[in-house]
Amino acid sequence: MVEGRISKIAGPVITAEGMKGAQMYEVVRVGEERLIGEIIELEEDRAVIQVYEETVGMRPGGEVVGSGAPLSVELGPGLLRMIYDGIQRPLEMIKNETGDFIQRGVDVPSLSRTAKWHFTPVVKEGDKVVAGDVLGEVQETEVITHRILVPPDLPGGVIESVAKEGDYTVEDTVAVLKTADGRRELSMLQRWPVRLGRPYREKLDPEEPLISGQRIFDTFFPLTKGGTSAIPGPFGAGKTVSQHQLAKWADADVIVYVGCGERGNEMTEVLEEFPHLEDPKTGKPLMERTVLIANTSNMPVAARDASIYTGATIAEYYRDMGYNVALMADSTSRWAEAMREISGRLEEMPGEEGYPAYLASRLAEFYERAGRVVTLGSDERYGSLAMIGAVSPPGGDFSEPVTQNTLRITKVFWALDASLADRRHFPSINWLRSYSLYTDAVEPWWSRNISPQWKEFRVKAMAMLQKEAELKEIVQLVGADALPDRERLVLEAARMIREDFLQQNAFHDVDTYCSPKKQFAMLKLMIEFYDRADEAVSKGVPAKDIAEMSVIDEIARLKYVPETEYEAKIEEINNKLQEELMALVEKYSER
Amino acid sequence: MAVQMKEYTSTTEVAGPLMIVEGVEGAGYGELVDIKLSNGEKRRGQVLEIAGERAVVQVFEGTKGIDTRDTKVRFTGETIKLPVSREMTGRIFDGTGRPIDKKPEILPEKFLDIHGAPMNPTGREYPREFIQTGISTIDGMNTLVRGQKLPIFSGSGLPHNELAAQIARQARVLGEEEEFSVVFAAMGITFEEASFFMKDFERTGALEKVTAFLNLANDPAIERIITPRLALTTAEYYAFDLGMHVLVILTDMTNYCEALREIAAARGEVPGRRGYPGYMYTDLSTIYERAGRIAGKKGTITQMPILSMPDDDITHPIPDLTGYITEGQFVLSRELHRRGIYPPVDVLPSLSRLMKGGIGPGRTREDHANVSDQLYSAYAEGRDLRNLVAIVGEEALTDRDKRFLEFAERFEKEFVTQDRDEDRSIERTLEIGWRLLSILPERELKRISSDYIKKYHPNYKEGAKEGSSEEREGQAEE
């Protein structure tokens, strides 16, 4: 082990001498309290270390001890339902040790060493296995079966022995493997360095949408399983609520939620709320499929940098078992700022707006860990990891480096808009600025599972919103009265799409989740409304009369109609629409 | 320990708020430094950086008069601690925690590290208790809850002090009489501003419940770095040791950030946006995040920082970074103020993130969320139309649009506007809201569930004439 001495302390960054032989990114223990740190720069025998805990009181001359290993996370049964800090220490355990406030120097294992898990072997003696093969299974929570895999960094071999079905701790040996390099005892616990992506056999193109039950996402700007998206917006525009909605309702198997430099109360909200919310797919509490990583803004800044990687590694681990995983990072700007802060302390040459020059490559490396893959192992498992990164641009200005560099990588852009939030249009996603490059990729899925007309209606609705924006400019100049009736009808129909389709109330029991079927039915109704009304207008009915039809109010309330009743309601609305339009056409044709 | 008590006279450099001491042995990062000037004056500082035997010290009371020959420096081996006691209520301290009200010194019950420690998210309890401030734009539209941090974004010349004082005066939780306390921290505000608060507290008899830390405009700027931390340490003691409900008012955070920038510049750090240090977000969060409530403990800390936006610019780094940490913001508008509207809260950019948990049946009223949403969207539409009218004239508007226009006008005059001493109950606030909404065609009230419309819309209230029902409400409050 390398042992050195502290020579300089400046905030979270310390310098140690006598560190010859230490590795880049090696974890070290610093000072009497053995605080955890990571080497981020080496020069001869001098190492610069970022410390994951508060450094107040540390003195030059203090001991620095290397661990010989890079920053790693523990992987195994027991991850789900946990809330960790940025370097994977369980916050619940820290609370038991130090009380309601986090003190430093706490050393607790990430996974419980005493909890027993019911292990069921899948392999038997004499089986040949390769890295990534399933050794056995553990029912980790009611919804997730944890597959114990041969670690990806092991060569293949022959099973010499395997544990009988029964209860074991994560450290108990569950299988012994005979490899070319000798005998290896395998437990349910694995370690993996956080900055290194876990290997897979092959990356595939995404094809299935990640359904979130949010109309503007699913219908207009879809994300895929294994896709990446960025959600930038100024404060108060609803980033966190959108992220929470995705964490709640996205149809992924496992959710990893990273609260990176955000508010303590928001993490508490998730902790209080998730155990009581049901997954619409399984009916089980959402917490059963969720791992939380919380590094609130006032926790040490270096651990904030690590929290993103910790999250990504845990997410990849579940992906490797063959699950669809979604990772939410709120917010990546705080991560970038942590990089900037550390870089500043290192006195590195700053790039744009003081961010380090490697900002772009770090962001790219992170998002590239997403994707749909064929996992390691001989049984053709498919897994995916989707990433959704919130970005908090200063002043809501999207031209800043973090937003711009993120947009160069992610395929979906959900642009939050403060002016929409001001009028309580939520989710306040600007429909004209946002985009998704996956619309073509998911079209076959919608066409197969919902309706072949999905694309057609979606394009029509988008065109209508675009047209509305153009017309509004004219209205600004000359007033609405100057528009011909057909264009006024476009305004009315676009308003309907905006208010009655795009707006969605996250806090309403029914409206918080809208199934793809209902989404399509609603959109179809609105487009058909426009088509029919347009026909009526061409027969002489004034747009004003159409806007006053009472059926419009019923369309507006459709989003609050439960999943089991909306079909009947739509039929009723259709009939009523027919009647009211007929009446209007008759009235005006008589003249 | 003997080594730590050694006095150094090896100051080699003094620059701005910083001094550099060489040949130091065994001093720790962040520890408190006692400085004795050649004329006998004592000052305090903190180690900002230590490299080998060279320590960079920031001096809270300023470096004026410090020399490089006779000034004696002693490293105390401790971080800065504040002596706290129940006796602190009703007392006034300077920006470094020394009593300035000519009353005796505090007999400390405890010494607490002023930097505090981050609250464990698993130990927190989500804030849900509605605080009635008696101000419609707050209670009705941006509800404050116990344990929230909600700043006032203001500008120079706007009545943010009046508003903060009114909130401090009127804030209460319905149906409860519990021990509450106000901790007031002034950073770089003028004597007059501080005196306004003190007089207001005195006038209303609240002074005995106030603990004040005053760093005025002519006090050393660097002191401002610790003033809010002293206030919050006191607040944490009151809330989590003594079980009190504490409202912390921090004013003016802009001056705090200026002090932060001054130190960063003196250290020659790489500046971030507009010269503010890159770690300002982290630094501010160590102040703002010290609000909240802890599961199983009675007391709470509610924070109300006040900051003046330079040039009324909400995208300036100070309000911007603040908004990303706090749970919403009240934004004051110069335009409303010019038109004589008090309090000039511009509700559109204002927000309370914790509102949804603090309102509804059992807390305020079942229709609250709906009514607030509807008021928001109607007012936003009215304001848009106002811009349109400026171009095309009112004649070009449809009848529906005219009603929205009228709504926006009356919303500002009747809902937003209230007296400096007017304490409106939440029922009264919602009542006014409904009255204004009745200007609009009923079918435009899309944000409100039809049940509530039937129950609360003035059109459906049988026999009840508007005026009389309001008077009844008004009297009931007294």
**The CATH number of the domain where A516 resides is what?**
1.10.1140.10
Q: Are the C-beta atoms of residues B149 and B332 closer than 8 Å to each other?
A: no
Q: Helices (DSSP H) in B204-326: which residue ranges? A: 227-236, 253-266, 280-288, 317-325
The string of DSSP codes covering B353-412 is TTHHHH-STTTS-TTHHHHHHHHHHHHHHHHHHHHHHHHH-GGGS-HHHHHHHHHHHHII
Q: pLDDT of B438-456, one tens digit each?
A: 999 998 898 898 899 999 9
Across the interface, whether the CB atoms of A58 and B281 are under 8 A apart is answered no
**The CATH number of the domain where A219 resides is what?**
3.40.50.300
The rounded mean pLDDT for chain A is 93
Indicate whether B463 pLDDT > 60.
no
Q: Is residue A36 part of a domain?
A: yes
Do both A286 and A332 map to the same domain?
Answer: yes
Which chain A residue is nearest to residue B352, measuring alpha carbons? A236
Task: Among A40, A70, A100, give the residue marking a domain's end.
Answer: A70
Band the pLDDT of A317: cuts 50, 70, 90. very high
Q: What are phi and psi of A37, to 5 degrees?
A: -140, 170
The DSSP secondary-structure symbol of A219 reads: I
How remote is the C-alpha of B312 from its chain's centroid?
Answer: 17
* ipTM surpasses cut 0.90: no
Residue A155 sits at the chain B interface (C-beta within 8 Å): no
A338-352, B59-73, B408-422: range with highest mean pLDDT: B408-422
The predicted model gives B397-401 an average pLDDT of 85
The DSSP secondary-structure symbol of B99 reads: B
From chain A, pick out residues whose CB is under 8 angstroms from the CB of B121: 83, 91, 264, 267-268, 271, 294, 296
Q: Who among A268, A354, A482 is closest to B124 (CB)?
A: A268
Q: pLDDT of A140-159, one tens digit each?
A: 999 999 999 999 998 889 99
Do both A364 and A412 map to the same domain?
Answer: yes
Indicate whether B464 pLDDT > 60.
no
Q: What is the pLDDT of residue B478?
A: 35
Band the pLDDT of B271: cuts 50, 70, 90. confident
CA distances from A36 to A49, A97, A258, A307, A339 (A): 10, 17, 20, 14, 18
Q: pLDDT of A111-141, one tens digit each?
A: 999 999 999 999 999 999 999 999 999 999 9
Band the pLDDT of A365: cuts 50, 70, 90. very high
Task: Among A29, A48, A70, give the residue marking a domain's end.
Answer: A70
Do both A355 and A277 map to the same domain?
Answer: yes
Do both A403 and A504 map to the same domain?
Answer: no
Close Cβ partners of B190 (under 8 Å, ≥ 6 residues apart): B216, B217
Band the pLDDT of A591: cuts 50, 70, 90. low
Whether the link from the prior residue into A331 is cis, omega within 30° of 0, is yes
The predicted model gives B313-318 an average pLDDT of 92
Using a pLDDT cut of 90, give the percent of chain A over it. Answer: 78
Band the pLDDT of B4: cuts 50, 70, 90. very low
Indicate whether A399 pLDDT > 70.
yes
Quote the CA–CA distance of A528 and A451 in Å, as a whole number: 15
From chain A, pick out residues whose CB is under 8 angstroms from the CB of B52: 7-8, 60
Q: Is residue A427 part of a domain?
A: yes
Q: Are the C-beta atoms of residues A416 and A231 closer than 8 Å to each other?
A: yes
Exposed / middle / buried, residue A308 (Cβ in 10 Å: 0-12, 13-18, 19+): buried
Do both A547 and A420 map to the same domain?
Answer: no
Q: What is the pLDDT of residue B465?
A: 47
State the residue for tokens 């007059």. Answer: B192
Q: Is residue A54 part of a domain?
A: yes
Q: What is the pLDDT of residue B462?
A: 60
Best probe of the A interface among B281, B287, B402, B440, by most A CBs < 10 A, is: B281
Q: Is residue A228 part of a domain?
A: yes
Do both A248 and A334 map to the same domain?
Answer: yes
Least confident span in A356-365, A452-461, B382-391: B382-391
The predicted model gives A23-41 an average pLDDT of 92
Q: What is the pLDDT of residue B474?
A: 40
Helix (H) or strand (E) holding A236: none
* Nearest residue to A516 via CA among A197, A180, A249: A249
Reduce the DSSP state of residue B351 to 3 states and report it: strand
Indicate whether B475 pLDDT > 90.
no
Residue A477 sits at the chain B interface (C-beta within 8 Å): yes
Angle, helices A566-590/A516-538, rounded to nearest 10 degrees: 0
Do both A430 and A465 map to the same domain?
Answer: no
Please give the structure tokens belonging to residue B270: 């790489």
Q: What is the pLDDT of residue B391?
A: 81
State the residue for tokens 């007391």. Answer: B299
Q: pLDDT of B218-259, one tens digit each?
A: 998 889 999 999 999 999 999 999 999 999 999 999 999 999
Task: Among A70, A102, A121, give the residue marking a domain's end.
Answer: A70
Do both A430 and A517 map to the same domain?
Answer: no
What value does the CA radius of gyration of chain A take, rounded to a whole number of Å? 28
State the residue for tokens 């970074």. Answer: B321
Q: How many domains does chain A have?
A: 3
From chain B, pick out residues whose CB is under 8 angstroms from the CB of A488: none
Higher pLDDT, B390 or A211: A211
From chain A, pick out residues whose CB is under 8 angstroms from the CB of B151: none
What value does the CA radius of gyration of chain B take, rounded to a whole number of Å? 25
The DSSP secondary-structure symbol of B194 reads: H
Q: Is residue A37 part of a domain?
A: yes
Across the interface, whether the CB atoms of B270 and A347 are under 8 A apart is answered yes
The rounded mean pLDDT for chain B is 90
First to last CA, chain A: 97
Indicate whether B473 pLDDT > 60.
no
Q: Who among A11, A60, A234 is closest to B52 (CB)?
A: A60
Across the interface, whether the CB atoms of B381 and A301 are under 8 A apart is answered no
Q: Helices (DSSP H) in A18-121: which residue ranges? A: 91-98
**The CATH number of the domain where A12 resides is what?**
2.40.30.20
Band the pLDDT of B470: cuts 50, 70, 90. very low
Band the pLDDT of B166: cuts 50, 70, 90. very high
Q: What is the pLDDT of residue B476?
A: 40
Residue A59 sits at the chain B interface (C-beta within 8 Å): yes
The DSSP secondary-structure symbol of B415 reads: I
Q: What is the pLDDT of residue A574?
A: 95
Best probe of the B interface among A424, A428, A502, A510, by most B CBs < 10 A, is: A424
Do both A224 and A364 map to the same domain?
Answer: yes
**What is the number of other CB atoms lying within 10 angstroms of the CB of residue A68?**
13
Quote the CA–CA distance of A331 and A335 in Å, as a whole number: 7
Q: Are the C-beta atoms of residues B203 and B162 closer than 8 Å to each other?
A: no
From chain B, pick out residues whose CB is under 8 angstroms from the CB of A54: 115, 117
Do both A400 and A496 map to the same domain?
Answer: no
From chain A, pick out residues whose CB is under 8 angstroms from the CB of B119: 100-102, 264
Residue numbers of the domain that contains A562? 454-589
Q: Is residue A75 part of a domain?
A: no
Q: Is residue A160 part of a domain?
A: no
**What is the number of other CB atoms lying within 10 angstroms of the CB of residue B4?**
16
Indicate whether B469 pLDDT > 90.
no
Higher pLDDT, B400 or A382: A382
Q: Is residue A168 part of a domain?
A: no
Do both A518 and A463 map to the same domain?
Answer: yes
Quote the CA–CA distance of B17 and B8 in Å, as a whole number: 19
Q: What is the pLDDT of residue A1?
A: 77
* Nearest residue to B43 via CA among B33, B31, B53, B52: B33
Do both A409 and A545 map to the same domain?
Answer: no
